[in-house]
A = this chain, B = another copy of it.
Amino acid sequence: MNSNKFAEMEAIFNPRSVAIIGASPGVDMATLAHIKTRIRDRLFLVNPKYTEIFSKKCYPSVLNVEEPLDYAIISVNASLVCRMVEECIQKGIKCVQVFSAGFSETGLPEGAALEQKLRETAAGKIRLIGPNCFGIYCPRSGLAIIPESTEEEGHIGVIAQSGSVAELFSYFGRTKNISFSKVVSYGNAADLDCPDFLEYLADDPDTHIIALYIEGSKDGRRLKEALTYAAGRKPVFVIKGGMSDSGNRAARSHTGQLTGTPVLWRSLFRQCGAVQVSNNDEMMNVAIAFTHSPMPRRNGVAMIANSGGLSVMQTDLLVSEGMNVPRFSDDTIQKLRKIVPVAGTSIGNPLDAWPLFYRTQRDAGNMAEIIRIIAADKHVDLVIFMFDQFRYMRRALREGAGEHMQTVTDLMLEGCSYCRDVLGKPVFLSITLDPFLQDEEERNVDLALKDAFQQQGFPVFPSNDAAARAVGALYKYDRLAMTSRT
């Protein structure tokens, strides 16, 4: 991306002042989202119906705002949008984000005509994001999509054709322990389109990984160029919404764009070096993995679990994700045999050894020691720890379970930190916690374990499958990057 274009995009994501046209004290996500962020003192609300909203002055028009304005969010009836854009141009605003829907995505001729008029109104005079989009979340500048998003800056860049996908990322960042450099929902793309954002985030030093949700494109060649450019600079993961015929039809009626065939998209992503993931959950898991994990050197995974059955199923899933669950070396097996009881356990990889959860700090062969032994195995490049033990602990130890769990947490952290920080091998933790579980004691223990590991910067997943798929995505990207390097 040339430096003028980059500077223009930088200015769009980091405006010095923002107007919200159509602000209201009711259901107005744009105002709710910005009223508390660091842009709040340079936020100007515009609506002729009000003189004040949330104790903030409200102007009849952007033309009445005395200060210069960089950026405007338009949230009025579709039929009024063009007039508002004209006022923005007159005011000297550089970019408008059109929140309003009712354009080409309706599938109706009048909607398409309105979008064409909008495009012509803006052309050459002002940049446009949308219409039919949630706009930008940029923690550094204070642009926001939802009221709940944090000001914590991170390194994940999200580009989404769908507003609700952008909303999901912004909302669940806190829950998932991931944070963002920039999130943009670009909707119908009457002006600025996916390739513009791809090229910008490719050059943006704050963005270390790009997550893209795309349903269709207006210009396949430009998209290909931008994807290739971005994927050559950082990991790009992509969801193509509408891979099936019906999904394609749903996508068309969602964003009103041409959507191509699944084969075409798959080969496009492969050629460009972008890694395709199948849905939003998987994308979140990839983001967690890339945020909190070093790259594994090779694909050898060791698993520590307390269930033979589950660890067998996870082995299958990991293998289908391109990983290997190798035998431990004889040396490792010998060391484990000395300290792991034989009955009811499997001394091998996966290690299925519930009795270890009952040892304390002072015991030989406690969990920290076991993790250190396994992590040191030359065939092991990454460790997955599957935790699903508290209810067993509670049966065995009753009132003592909570306190013992703290000991176990410390031992797990000790071993896992050694693995990651001393040996440089990634550790993934999965905690089986059913979302519908209404057992507050178990839930609180699981959440405390999650918090403890997240605080130490480990990637934590709420299911074994999620952890396995995230490991797979990490390795898949690494192989792809290696292939393109050689």
Which of A278, A317, A342 has its CB near the most chain B CB atoms (within 10 A)? A342
Contact B165–A241 (Cβ < 8 Å)? no
Hey, which chain B residues are within 8 Å of A219, CB to CB? none
| Residues in B neighbouring A278, C-beta threshold 8 A | 313, 316-317
Stretch at the interface among A267-275, A319-327, A403-411, A419-427: A319-327
Question: In this complex, which of A147, A176, A247 has the most chain B Cβ atoms within 10 angstroms of its Cβ?
Answer: A247
CB distance from A26 to the nearest CB of B (A): 8
With A324-B246, A343-B102, A344-B102 already in contact, the answer to whether A312 and B251 are too (CB < 8 A) is yes
CA distance A279 to B435 in the complex (A): 18
A132 lies within 8 A of chain B by Cβ: yes
Tally of chain A residues near chain B (CB < 8 A): 91
Q: Are A242 and B436 in contact (CB under 8 A)?
A: no
Question: In the bound complex, how far is the Cα of B244 from the Cα of A317, in angstroms?
Answer: 8
- Give complex CA distance A176, B171 in Å: 26
Select the stretch in A220-228, A346-354, A362-370 that faces chain B.
Answer: A346-354
A205 within 8 Å of B (CB atoms): no
Query: Residue among A309, A395, A437, A460 with the most chain B CB within 10 A?
Result: A309
Measured between alpha carbons, how far is A435 from B463 in the docked complex, in Å?
9
Partner of A462, one of B311, B312, B320, B436: B436
Q: Determine if A102 and B244 form an interchain contact, defined as CB atoms under 8 angstroms apart.
A: no
Nearest CB of B to A397, in Å: 8
Known: A175-B438, A395-B29, A395-B147. A346 touches B250 (CB 8 A): yes
A168 contacts across to B, CB distance below 8 A? 307, 310
Q: Is A47 an interface residue (CB 8 A)?
A: no
Q: Verify if A243 is at the interface (C-beta below 8 Å from B).
A: yes
Within 8 A of B (CB), among A391-409: 391, 395-396
| A101 contact set on B, CB distance < 8 A | 343-345
Which residues of B are found within 8 Å of A111, using beta-carbon distances?
342
Cβ contact within 8 Å between B434 and A435: yes
Known: A279-B465, A344-B132. A319 touches B447 (CB 8 A): no
Residues of A within 8 A of B (CB): 26-27, 29, 32, 77-78, 100-102, 105-106, 108, 111, 132, 146-148, 160-165, 168, 171-172, 175-176, 213, 215, 239, 241-247, 249-251, 253-255, 278-281, 306-313, 315-320, 324-327, 342-346, 348-350, 352, 358, 391, 395-396, 433-438, 447, 450, 460, 462-463, 465
Q: List 26 A-B contacts (CB under 8 A).
A: A106-B342, A108-B342, A146-B391, A162-B309, A163-B308, A172-B437, A175-B437, A241-B309, A241-B316, A246-B325, A247-B315, A247-B316, A250-B325, A250-B348, A253-B346, A255-B308, A279-B313, A279-B317, A280-B309, A280-B310, A280-B313, A434-B435, A434-B462, A435-B435, A436-B447, A436-B462
